Structure 1
């Protein structure tokens, strides 16, 4: 695909096609956000893996093209355009569906660069037969979806994104309309939950049909498959859902294994059947932030020590789910409250945590919003996903 020039200046946008260009693509946000105290630089090797075919299994079921914008030879912006074939196979009423392409990973020095990059991504999607854009997604719905619209004043937790506030105006200025808002909720976990929630938990603890257990790290692969099986079942009717593939299950397991703690991930069984899970992760961003994306020469020692015995302020619940046949039941809420409470106790006593974060949660997920409200949590960040007809 040839480079595209901006007739109003010397801005040139070209597809990424070489390793050197991929390096420039990955490096740009480290330069643009170096002075933003709320941006947490990811490890460069992980950022590179995310955009490399053969490394990230997202490429197995998606067509992807990355673009770089240059002005006077200097890189001034980037964007990814992609078509997830698993996403376009989903029912349209669930947000994705036929004809829906995506862009993401937007970074730009100014509004003109952003507008040109978005237009280029749209043209690429249009050329491939797409009729609608859902964005930003960087790159899968399971990675860093949405543009931050609330919570710019504090860093994101592990696996959450952070974009400057001005990007929102650039996206909306390109003709995009809001389609869904995703929330994260925070709470002070040093405080006991309200009396009603305590009674619900205590009732569950006395119920012989309910068992809430830690995962068994010695059976990591087996437990990972169990959790992702519950997840695929529990989330299958949700807006934006895209199923995990076998390779993605293995990839996620490998990625999470270093920070997985048995006493922070719970599986709930009812009459011996695993029906729900809750995954909690120590906030790795707390230790990564000062490293500026680099493990060498000496940061790897600090990271290794932390992984052996993590002490954190924040614990994040990125994923939880209850099998569909129990959703909307009182039992589903009870199991959720039990898992939250057991993890809360462990997070305080064993890791020194004082703060919890749950999310992301869809704005219209009434069940999860009700659970978040019941434990006295409040919204601390909001991300917005937009759409536009092509």
Structure 2
């Protein structure tokens, strides 16, 4: 009996959307380091009504099937703000994306990538970058190093075999995103201690906690610093208010005031550091569902999270200070104050910083000075269409 032929079709129905979500759980169930995301979160990510990113983007989801069996998925999408960015910073005119990639075998992988490329060409795109799922601010890149341990909150995890399949489709490396891990129970080198002590004596510098009672105001302040600090980076696309609103709703339950710092110079906010307790440690046992009792377990955890790992997803220093000694001083001060809170209040022993662009020498230097070592590498690929 002949095997069922492979077919790739657009997601158009509720059943298709369910299949699109579920295939990730099916294909990754045997990986002990894959953390099943909450299905409700995935559904929200792909829903234009619930993801503010769609206010400036559009896309199409596809699933691959053999008979009645789903064997893969992919998204093809265009970010209008990315099209407006300078080409020398990674994106720019003609650049489209694909992501949310999962495949059972190399044949399905090639068919899915080809289908995404065809959709992008039909939209007038001349270059494809992937995987980006869906926004550059969400889960960019394919994991190519660090498959031996679970990802931290808001980081992707992919089978090692995907790398060959993407490269066989003609994709070349465009940019690497790095994460650094460190033992936060070990105090930083003496030079860092001296830099922090010097900063504490400087009356111009104030490091303060974020005020959660003024969540909207603090979020707007951090957004302003972020959009300034990151504006020259590869792949930068400014975060918009609808995205900030959505991210705020998602992150507010895991925002703790002593884990987010804002640095002020002469009374003006000039830098920030966001640290999150590793929510993946809490959701991994839930297998992607809050029912029947997962919601209660998660709420209990959120009241007083005790974690092994803290993740620093974002840091930023305003552009005018980035080439100065003050930039690293503010960073080290924020890192140290958060390190102390992470250990004493949350029981953390490990930190992860990232992702960091491979050419961001300033941030890489800070991570390496505090004895951080690269533990995961995510590869972003590109190919002309």
**SS at structure 1 position matched to 2:81:** coil
Task: Tell me, in whole angstroms, the C-alpha distance in 2 between the residues paired with 1:9 and 1:287.
Answer: 40
Q: Which residue of 2 aligns with 1:150?
A: 145
Residue number in structure 2 paired with 1:16: 11
Matched, 1:95 2:90: yes
Q: Which residue of 2 aligns with 1:229?
A: 224
Does residue 246 (structure 1) correspond to residue 241 (structure 2)? The answer is yes
- Aligned-residue Cα RMSD (Å) equals 0.8
| Conservation of the 8 A alpha-carbon contact between 2:72 and 2:109 | yes
Q: 1:218 aligns with which of 213, 219, 242?
A: 213
Q: Does 2:48 correspond to 1:53? A: yes
Q: Secondary structure at the match of 1:87?
A: helix
Superposed displacement of residue 73, structure 1: 2.1
Q: With structure 1 as the length reference, what TM-score do the two structures score? A: 0.97
What do the CA deviations read for 1:247-281 (whole angstroms, capped 9, x no partner)?
Answer: 11111111110000000000000000000000000
Match of 1:383 among 354, 378, 381: 378
Correspondences of 1:22-41 after superposition (within 5 Å): 22-41=17-36
d(CA) in 2 for partners of 1:28 and 1:182? Answer: 26
Q: Which residue of 1 aligns with 2:110?
A: 115
Shift of 1:388: 0.2
Q: Give deviations 1:58-110, integer Å, cap 9, x for gaps.
A: 11111200001111121111000001000010000000000000000111110
Aligned partner (choices 257, 260, 264) of residue 255 of structure 2 = 260
Whole-angstrom CA distance in 1 between matches of 2:72 and 2:63:
6
| Structure 2 gaps, min length 5 | none
1:164 to 159, 167, 174: 159
2:80 corresponds in structure 1 to 85
C-alpha contact 2:52 2:245 (8 A) present in aligned 1: no
Alpha-carbon distance in structure 1 between the residues aligned to 2:329 and 2:210: 19
Q: Does 1:371 align with 2:378?
A: no
* Per-residue deviation, residues 288-324 of structure 1 (Å, max 9, x unmatched): 1111001110111110011000000000000000001
Q: CA deviation at 1:120?
A: 0.4
Gaps of 5+ in 1: 1-7
For residues 63 and 315 of structure 1, what CA distance do their matches in structure 2 show? 33
Q: Is the 8 A contact 2:260 2:275 kept in 1?
A: yes
d(CA) in 1 for partners of 2:146, 2:184: 20
CA contact 2:50–2:246 (8 Å) conserved in 1:
no
Cα distance, 1:9 vs structure 2: 6.5
Which of 291, 300, 304 is residue 305 of structure 1 equivalent to?
300
1:313-361 Cα deviation digits (max 9, x unpaired): 0000000000011111000010000000000001001100000000000
1:316 aligns with 2:317: no
Match of 1:188 in 2: 183
Counting only pairs closer than 5 Å after superposition, residues 104-143 of structure 1 correspond to structure 2 as 104-143=99-138
Give yes or no for contact 2:143–2:157 (8 Å, CA) kept in 1.
yes
SS of 2:22 mapped into structure 1: helix
The 5 A counterparts of 1:353-364 are: 353-364=348-359
Find 2:204's aligned residue among 204, 209, 221.
209
Q: Report what 2:284 is aligned to.
A: 289
Counterpart CA distance in 1 for 2:281 and 2:168 is 34
1:75 aligns with 2:49: no
Q: What SS is found at the alignment partner of 1:157?
A: coil
Higher mean displacement: 107-116 or 247-256: 247-256
Return the match for 1:342 from 331, 337, 341: 337
User: Conserved in 1, the CA contact under 8 Å of 2:82 and 2:91?
Assistant: yes
Number of the residue aligned with 1:3: none
Q: Secondary structure at the match of 1:383?
A: strand
